[in-house]
Amino acid sequence: MPKIQPFKAIRAPRAFANLVASRSYEDYSDGELESKLEFNPYTFLHVINPGYRYHKEVTGVQRFQLVKNRYLEFKEDGIYVKDKDPALYVYRMTTRNNSFCGIIAGASADDYAQDKIKKHEDTMQRREELFKDYLKTVGFNAEPVLLTYPDKATIKETIDKVTAVIPDYEFTTQDRVTHALWPITDIDIISILQYEFEQIPNFYIADGHHRTASSYLLAETLKAENPDHTGKEAYNFFMSFLIPESELRIYEFNRMVKDLNGLSKEQFLFKLDKWFRIENRGLELYKPSKKHHFSMYLDGEYYSLYLRKTVYKFTDALSELDTQILYKTILEPILGISDLKNDRRIKYGYGKNNLLQMKQQIDEGDFAVGFGMMPLSVEEIKAIADEGLTMPPKSTYIEPKMRSGLTIYEF
């Protein structure tokens, strides 16, 4: 049964909160990033992009140290202040279409090691080690791992009571997302939430597999270096945002491939016929509405592909994923793409307009063929995690996407 831990967050005073918190660094275009750094001296982007001050890109260990320096400067200037009391933090993010409300807390690295916090994606050891070294140098985590858990009425009722009062923060960012934060310092409420979460068998990582793995490596490293280790040190936990499964939003990634692997259009369709019932839908934009149904855009026309279930064999939870089916029936055997992470012939896209964007890129000759599918479900993700399996890369695009620098967790 996984544990959650209150902590003393380092965060901006109310007057600075809307200026400090940022989207993930990779989320910004070059122009947006330049504008933020030029005109907002309070944005957390200055911390994670420390080379801007020197008008140069800084990488590696040198960047890690400069990130720490910028962070310390933010604390010295009062842009960041440490809370006086340990707290759990109820955080609500409201977009134009969705509202996400959950709890920011410390999650246990030991629970991750014992598979009480389950994963569904592979991680790369090189990235784990690199981010572990980054965390060790800077001494903080600025973006929580997204964890999900089965809906629980008592947890919701407690959160509803907390959010019935005016939040400590409430502000709207330029992307029309409203953010609200309620610190919980009442020991009785904290105890209730800790107890209720401990009754849940498992948490599931929705987003942040590398951050979780790196936090575990950091905990093991600092544990080995500390002769007085007790298990209660801050490094034994990592910052997480826990939301119920019902609030998780899962979207699909579509796939586009540069060429047909030397096949003509007719040869390609003939090979597809082994696995799928194919229907040419002409110019009609076709979007799948059922599991094991796929859309395909090829040579100016849309096709629907229905899996022949008498030919394809289901053996485990992985074999039932549409992303795995597409890989095992088309991408690998027909188009010759075995390395979904590194093969430059394949590109991924997501978003409600991505089918149209995919069509445009194929019409312009950037790609030869594109495939769309239904989003995976929470149940499918959990089944993969429970069986100890991992999904193909880019199987899910999951929301919410958390802000960086809203709350800081120090080790």
pLDDT of 1 higher than 90 = no
Q: Give helix 60-76 / helix 125-138 axis angle, nearest 10°.
A: 40
CATH of the domain at 367: 3.30.1760
Q: Provide the pLDDT for residue 105.
A: 98
Residue range 360-388: average pLDDT? 96
Does 154 share its domain with 41?
A: yes
Q: Provide the pLDDT for residue 352.
A: 65
Does 14 share its domain with 63?
A: yes
Number of domains composing the chain: 2
Bridge pairing between strands 237-244 and 145-149? parallel
Which tokens in the block code for residue 164?
Answer: 């019935």
Which tokens in the block code for residue 17?
Answer: 């909160």
Does 383 share its domain with 285?
A: yes
Residues 6 or more apart whose Cβ sits within 8 Å of residue 159: 90, 101, 102, 103
The parent domain of residue 198 ranges over 4-250+399-410
pLDDT of 111 higher than 90 = yes
Does 42 share its domain with 121?
A: yes
Does 236 share its domain with 132?
A: yes
Q: Provide the pLDDT for residue 364.
A: 96
Does 125 share its domain with 226?
A: yes
pLDDT in tens, 29-39: 888 888 999 99
Q: Provide the pLDDT for residue 175.
A: 86
Q: Provide the pLDDT for residue 25.
A: 79
Does 179 share its domain with 261?
A: no
Does 274 share its domain with 212?
A: no
- In angstroms, the CA 393 to CA 296 distance is 19
Residue range 227-231: average pLDDT? 96
Neighbours of 305 (CB within 10 A): 26
Residue range 89-97: average pLDDT? 95
Does 209 share its domain with 113?
A: yes
Which of 73-82, 153-162, 167-176 has the least mean pLDDT? 167-176
Does 130 share its domain with 246?
A: yes
Does 176 share its domain with 133?
A: yes
Q: Provide the pLDDT for residue 61.
A: 86
Instruction: Kindly state the DSSP code that residue 199 receives in the 8-state scheme.
Output: T
Q: Provide the pLDDT for residue 30.
A: 85
Mean pLDDT in the chain? 95
pLDDT in tens, 121-134: 988 889 999 999 99
pLDDT in tens, 198-216: 999 999 999 999 999 999 9
Which of 52-61, 97-106, 161-170, 283-292 has the least mean pLDDT? 52-61
Q: Provide the pLDDT for residue 58.
A: 77
Does 218 share its domain with 274?
A: no
pLDDT in tens, 48-71: 988 887 777 777 888 999 999 999
Q: DSSP for 128-164?
A: HHHHHHHHHHH-EE-S-EEEEE---HHHHHHHHHHTT
